[in-house]
Structure 1
Amino acid sequence: MSVNALYTDLSGYYDLMCVDIDYHAQSNAIRRLHQIFGNKGKRHLDLACGTGPHVRHFIDEGYISSGLDINQPMLDIAATRCPEAHFSLQDMSSFEVCEPLDLITCFLYSIHYNDGQEKLSACFASAHRALKTGGVFYFNAVDKDKIDNGLFVKHTAKQANNTFTFRSGWHYGGHGERQSLRLSIEKTNAETTQVWNDEHPMVAVSFSELIALLVPTFEVHVFEHDYETITPWDALSGNAIFVCVKR
């Protein structure tokens, strides 16, 4: 099953799959960082917005928010959740906007959906073009050199008479610019068990490579992957928050 097919078929279950995510804490943390580093503007775009939960929080805090994704069923749900927002079907590596932005966000490691460093560089260029001077581009990332292929996260949730078990984990072969997100979804009820397994191709990049791609056009600040406190990255952990201010 293709990547898009899996997400299209299960778009109605996406929020269930992400039920453990604290969207409010994540949105508030980036809003605080935007207050510190940003240009005080309120025009916002969320890349790979999915069903729009982050967009909802930014709207509730007074932002003029929009979102883009490559999956129309996700955007249909997002439009219902956030009728005030504009959503567009676009690839984050080559997106365009109608008006300059003050803040661009990309949550949930979705920056890695740029399949290869060429597309990643194109995404950074698109974000730079879309931002006003002093605007902020936020994303979180994982360092390819610190991925443990044996680790995965798992949670279970119930919906109606069904039990869902979700598993996901990073995998990197140790060389090159491709890593993958391995995903397993199991749906069980009294009659049947259905299982979807997929492997999403993603860009593999070290933090030193990321910074090198960004510094020609952005002032780059890197923080620990902690949405409760604002702590500079210790240069040791393999997950981090990047706050990039347009030069």
Structure 2
Amino acid sequence: MATNSLYTDLSRYYDLMCEDIDYLSQSHAIHRLHQMFGNGGNHHLDLACGTGPHVRHFLNYGYQSAGLDINQPMLEIAKQRCPEASFVKQDMSMFTTQSPIDLITCFLYSLHYSDGLERLKQCIQSAYQALQVGGIFCFNVVDKSKIKRDSFVRHSVEREGANFMFQSGWRYSGSGDQQFLDLQIERSADSSTQSWKESHPMVAFTFLELKMMLEAYFEVHIFEHDYQKIIPWDKESGNAIFVCIKN
């Protein structure tokens, strides 16, 4: 069986890789949290927006939405999906906005893309500065102390006569402030397989460490990582949704 390197622009495969993600439920849950904790405003910014699927749902809810990402090819796809939204290429660790925001979101654990704890702190500061009083910053994260060795998720998709296999998983050495997101894509067609692998360095922290960073700026609430129910974090699970209110 022939094997060669898959074209490494992830934007080409991003939507296929994320096809099993329930963007509607995720967006609706954060919309509800914003209704509960927010200031009633409708200016929304999605950090690390990718190809814009979450932005599409917030537009449908009546928000004036914008997206931010460092990947220009993904932003081009997002513009096609959401022509009425604005998109900008910026690093979420040090971003600015032209006008105050009421809701900032960061889905799919993307806050971990901050390169180290100092860059994470800069991201938190940027979010605080961009928000209106009473605005909220919502995101999901994983606690480094809860990452299980060799834990991963995998799914397959059939498209245009080919089978795509996508696999991703967290990897943490057990010490330090760096973990990795390991990604693998395989495309099989006509008795040949193309493969692509990459390990993304991600910032690692415990929820207690993160909460202490956030409380310098926000009132912090932590919820279970369940987009069907809004319930407080059980203090045991390793995934959670953070809701941070600017007072």
Shorter chain as denominator, the TM-score bin is over 0.9
- Is contact 2:138–2:243 with CA below 8 Å preserved after alignment? yes
Distance 2:208 2:18 in 1: 30
Determine the structure 2 residue equivalent to 1:162: 162
Distance 1:8 1:83, change over 3 A: farther
- Is contact 1:170–1:179 with CA below 8 Å preserved after alignment? yes
Q: CA deviation at 1:192?
A: 1.9
Q: How does 1:73-222 map to 2 (within 5 A)?
A: 73-222=73-222
TM-score by structure 1 length?
Answer: 0.96
Number of residue-to-residue matches in the alignment: 242
Distance 2:215 2:30 in 1: 20
Distance 1:239 1:50, change over 3 A: same
User: Equivalent residue of 1:166, what SS?
Assistant: strand
User: Which segments of structure 1 move beyond 6 Å, counting only runs of 4 or more?
Assistant: none
What amino acid maps onto 2:217 in structure 1?
A: T
TM-score by structure 2 length?
Answer: 0.96
Tell me whether 1:240 sits opposite 2:212 in the alignment: no
User: Equivalent residue of 1:11, what SS?
Assistant: helix
The structure with higher relative contact order (CA 8 Å, sep 6+) is 2
Query: Can you list the C-alpha shifts for 1:64-122, whole angstroms capped at 9, x where unaligned?
Result: 00000000000000000000000000000000100000000000000000011000000
Distance 2:8 2:106 in 1: 20
Determine the structure 1 residue equivalent to 2:3: none
Q: How does 1:57-72 map to 2 (within 5 A)?
A: 57-72=57-72
Distance 2:223 2:29 in 1: 11
- Is contact 2:7–2:196 with CA below 8 Å preserved after alignment? no
Distance 2:66 2:212 in 1: 29
Tell me whether 1:34 sits opposite 2:34 in the alignment: yes
Q: CA deviation at 1:12?
A: 2.1
Distance 2:121 2:30 in 1: 22
Gap runs ≥5 in structure 2 = 1-5
- Is contact 1:8–1:71 with CA below 8 Å preserved after alignment? no
What amino acid maps onto 1:56 in structure 2?
A: R
Distance 1:239 1:172 in 2: 15
Determine the structure 2 residue equivalent to 1:3: none
CA RMSD across the alignment: 1.1
- Is contact 1:58–1:65 with CA below 8 Å preserved after alignment? yes
Sequence identity, in percent?
Answer: 62
Q: CA deviation at 1:237?
A: 0.3
Distance 1:200 1:157 in 2: 23
Q: CA deviation at 1:8?
A: 6.0
